[in-house]
Chains A and B, each alone.
Chain A
Amino acid sequence: MQLSQYLKVYQVQFKNNWVREAVYRTNFLTSVVVDLIWMVVEASLFSVIYANVPTLGGWTLHQVYFFLGIFFASDALFSILFMRNYWQFSDLINKGELDILLTKPISPLFLALTRWMSLTNIFNFFLGMGVCIYYAKEAGFMGGWKWLLLGGWLIIGLITQSVVRFLFVVWTFWTERGWALSRLYYQFFSVATKPDVIYPAIVRYALLTLLPFAFVASVPARALLYGLSPLEYFWMVVVLGSFFLIGRIVWFKGLRRYSSASS
């Protein structure tokens, strides 16, 4: 199947999701309120900490808010495009829903990860961007054409969450229930809600390799504020590429193990 056909399928899925979400309009309000409170809680946490110390790892409060803006926008983007699919991944395997995807003349993985969208989260994306823009100047961000780079970094954040989250759910082929692993993922993910500069070197190393959550917002914020070295860019490609490849291998191994629940 060609790329244009994938795009067509994606377009249809987008339309279906749009129609579905238009029916449940209160969903929109709900997700905005929940995310808004989440942002307030995270911001309050840092306000309390900074009420006691002037800087953390050399970062001021405004720089942390700038980082939080990027983090919220990146996370909202992931919620819009992928999050629901990962939560429903274990159902695909346990309830045999994967059967129907395997019969389609298109990559079952593509279908499994793109069927559901949460378009109502779009407002949260803009909310995150708003926070980021509001604190950009005080954080020391140069602005101008560099705002274009933010788009690229948001995509990096999206890729990071997708590949790491996938490595947490793909084991459902073996574990049967994926709920606990998903919870584990979100516990680890909470590390990403803080800039990596506040962590000791060994944890920062782990956040750039084993659980590369630093690429969601920490590295983007650092890159936008101070720039990155070529080696760091190279390292990012190697790490994310490795996660992608490992995920792909495990997926195919899992498919070989999969026995249809409905057959």
Chain B
Amino acid sequence: MSKPLNWRLAAVINGFQDTLAYKSEFFIEFFSSAIVPAVIQLLLWYSMFKLGGAEKVAGQSYGDLIAYTWVSVLFSQVRGGNIDFDLAEMIRSGSLSQYLLRPIGAVEFFFFRGISTKLMVAVICLVVGLAVCPFTELSPLRILGAMVLALIGNLIAYQIGAALAASAFVWEEAYSVLMVKNLVVQLLSGELIPLYLVPENLSWIWKSFPFYLYVFGPTQYALGKWTHQEFIHNIELSFVWILVGWALVHISWKLGIKKYISIGG
């Protein structure tokens, strides 16, 4: 195996081992971040349709929204992660110095180490998604495609997080930038509510960011609400966002590292 592939694989394996070292934590976290928000969303639909008496909301029936919630759970688990917080903390605490001495990029190393958890989650979600296909109208091919989009979304999410984490080079409280980003992403990714509920005159807000590719996009495709052409178009768009993300990471870290002072590191 070539050396570049070797360290990347080692980082992924290292991440797997880290995750599996605390299995109960992993499953509590998995359960809490998957089921609880979904249940809250379902209760919200209940109140709108059963208590509020609505028959259709933004052209969607009660059943449509329930389906959205359950399917979006599969993809909301794959998005994000807290690796960007680790990067910011590493810069703040000075432990970045160890990585500067190594012939590998810190941003890339953290990505590979962190992706293992998300890969594991993606496999679990994919298996669950495929398992329910025979009992629902979901297509296995669409579930697979949607998961690919969700994983691409994870990469974009990491790139944006890493670029924002670079603010730790100049500001000690950079974690707050990441917290704000997470709050915005929660709303604009379609994790809290399907984005078609956003009034039409405000829809430009979520369309201007790549966040909808994390959850809303994959869910729409899996549910058959996006055509294959729309899906391919969004895959193309996601590659443009990856390029933008790459440029953002490259520029922010290049500028940031010039300001980095490691004392005693």
Contact = CB atoms under 8 A, between A and B. Distances in A.
Contact of B187 (A31, A41, A199): A41
A194 B44 contact: yes
A94 to B, nearest CB: 13
Interface string B143-183: 00000000000000000000000000001110010011001
B173 A26 contact: yes
Nearest to B202: A48
B192 interface: yes
B47 A56 contact: yes
B43 interface: yes
A238 interface: no
Contacts of B19: none
Contacts of B57: 52-53
A51 B199 contact: yes
B37 A200 contact: no
A53 B197 contact: no
Contact of B47 (A41, A184, A198): A198
A56 B49 CA distance: 9
Q: Which of B29, B52, B172, B198 has the largest number of chain A CB atoms within 10 A?
A: B52
**What's the dominant secondary structure at chain B's contact region?**
helix
B37 A53 contact: no
B12 interface: no
A184 B30 CA distance: 10
Given A44-B187, A48-B193, A55 B33 contact: no
A41 B51 contact: no
Given A37-B184, A56-B48, A203-B43, A175 B24 contact: yes
Nearest to B47: A198
Contacts of B198: 48
A179 interface: yes
B46 interface: yes
Interface string B39-67: 01001101110111110011000000000
B169 to A, nearest CB: 15
A180 B24 CA distance: 9
Q: Which of A29, A37, A187, A191 has the largest number of chain B CB atoms within 10 A?
A: A187
Interface magnitude class on chain B: 35 or more
B180 A37 contact: yes
Contacts of B186: 41
B183 A37 contact: yes
A45 interface: yes
Contact of A198 (B51, B183, B197): B51
A49 B173 contact: no
B204 interface: no
A30 B44 contact: no
A37 B43 CA distance: 24
Given A48-B193, A183-B29, A34 B176 contact: yes
Contacts of B53: 53
B36 A200 contact: no
B28 interface: yes
Interface in A146-183: 175, 177, 179-181, 183
B58 A187 contact: no
A51 B31 CA distance: 31
A93 to B, nearest CB: 15
Contact of B193 (A27, A29, A38, A49): A49
A198 B50 CA distance: 10
Contact of A53 (B22, B52, B172, B193): B52
Given A26-B171, A31-B176, A198-B43, 5 more contacts: A26-B172, A180-B25, A180-B29, A184-B28, A200-B50
6 contacts: A29-B173, A30-B176, A33-B180, A44-B187, A49-B48, A56-B51
**In the A-B complex, the 6 residue pairs with the closest CB atoms:** A198-B47, A187-B36, A30-B176, A180-B28, A180-B25, A187-B32
